[in-house]
């Protein structure tokens, strides 16, 4: 579903990813853990095409995301094709990123209507179902500023699901929330993980959540995978000292 092949990412002189290789299977739930600055968010942003790779290729559903290698040359992927691939990927951010000037319902229907070409009626019906799923049926007409952080994040989750993504990227989605609002959002994500087969890549510091939802945990340090395996192994019985000291610091 997602394949990183020798992916290098530099920001100026800083090499954040140093030739990264990994694959994620369809339906897999993979959590990325590791110290701040180790490149986890950059990986999600590359998949979302918010950043471009410096070298290497990212494949999504067997297609190159932005370009592919032909001999020594990197050749741009066809643009129409890139748009198709991007539609299959949803991302939820730490800071919600809702449209502040639109009511909740419109936040959810905007992309299905304008990107997927759904009719307004079809998009409304689906948005109402999704608001029910996230427990916010009574907030369809509210503006984001009238909601708590946890409610805004649940709207952001509904908005990403409205695009029927094959892949959902979750970037520290509870980090900006007051502690008492965190559990609601995590419970919702656990429900979604249980009731769908969406492939998920999750960056989180919530180790209990990571253990509950993940099939697999990848521990990063300085842009390199230090350890990769089921949560019981990586979190319960880590092989590497760097993983042990990271877990000790966050647990």
3-state helix, strand, coil in the chain (%, to 5): 40, 25, 35
Rounded distance between C-alpha atoms, residue 7 and residue 77, angstroms: 16
Q: What is the DSSP string of 140-157?
A: TT--GGGS-HHHHHHHHH
Query: Which residues of this chain interact with ligand ADP, rule CB under 6 A?
Result: 11, 14, 16, 34, 36-42
Minimal distance, residue 39 CB to ligand ADP, in Å? 4
Minimal distance, residue 15 CB to ligand ADP, in Å? 9
In DSSP terms, which residues pair with 67 in a beta bridge? 76
Within 61-99, strands assigned E span 63-64, 67-70, 73-76, 89-92
Q: Running DSSP on this structure, what letter comes out for residue 61? A: T
Minimal distance, residue 22 CB to ligand ADP, in Å? 15
Closer by beta carbon to ligand ADP, 114 or else 205: 205
Other Cβ atoms within 10 Å of 99 Cβ, number: 13
Closer by beta carbon to ligand ADP, 96 or else 246: 246
Other Cβ atoms within 10 Å of 220 Cβ, number: 26
Rounded distance between C-alpha atoms, residue 131 and residue 45, angstroms: 26
Going 92 to 207 to 200 to 43, the CA torsion angle's sign is positive
Closer by beta carbon to ligand ADP, 34 or else 231: 34
Closer by beta carbon to ligand ADP, 38 or else 152: 38
Minimal distance, residue 53 CB to ligand ADP, in Å? 13
Minimal distance, residue 12 CB to ligand ADP, in Å? 7
Other Cβ atoms within 10 Å of 80 Cβ, number: 7
Minimal distance, residue 64 CB to ligand ADP, in Å? 22
Closer by beta carbon to ligand ADP, 36 or else 145: 36
Tell me if residue 71 falls in helix, strand or coil.
coil
Closer by beta carbon to ligand ADP, 36 or else 194: 36
């Amino acid at each position: 579903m997602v394949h990183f092949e020798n992916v290098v990412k530099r920001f100026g002189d800083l090499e954040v990813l140093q030739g990264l290789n990994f694959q994620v299977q369809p339906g897999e739930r993979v959590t990325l853990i590791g110290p701040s600055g180790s490149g986890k968010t950059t990986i999600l942003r590359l998949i979302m095409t918010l950043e471009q790779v410096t070298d290497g290729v990212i494949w999504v559903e067997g297609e190159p995301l932005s370009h592919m290698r032909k001999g020594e040359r990197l050749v741009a992927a066809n643009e129409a094709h890139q748009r198709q691939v991007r539609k299959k990927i949803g991302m939820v951010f730490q800071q919600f990123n809702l449209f502040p000037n639109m009511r909740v319902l419109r936040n959810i229907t905007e992309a299905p209507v304008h990107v997927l070409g759904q009719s307004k009626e079809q998009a409304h019906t689906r948005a109402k179902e999704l608001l029910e799923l996230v427990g916010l049926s009574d907030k369809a007409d509210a503006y984001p500023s009238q909601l708590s952080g946890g409610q805004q994040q649940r709207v952001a989750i509904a908005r990403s699901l409205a695009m029927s993504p094959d892949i959902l990227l979750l970037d520290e989605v509870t980090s900006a929330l007051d502690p008492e609002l965190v559990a609601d959002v995590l419970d919702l994500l656990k429900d979604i993980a249980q009731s769908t087969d969406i492939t998920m890549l999750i960056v989180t510091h919530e180790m209990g959540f990571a253990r509950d939802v993940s099939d697999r945990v990848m521990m990063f340090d300085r842009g390199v995978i230090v350890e990769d395996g089921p949560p019981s192994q990586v979190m319960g019985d880590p092989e590497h000292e760097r993983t042990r000291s990271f877990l000790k610091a966050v647990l």
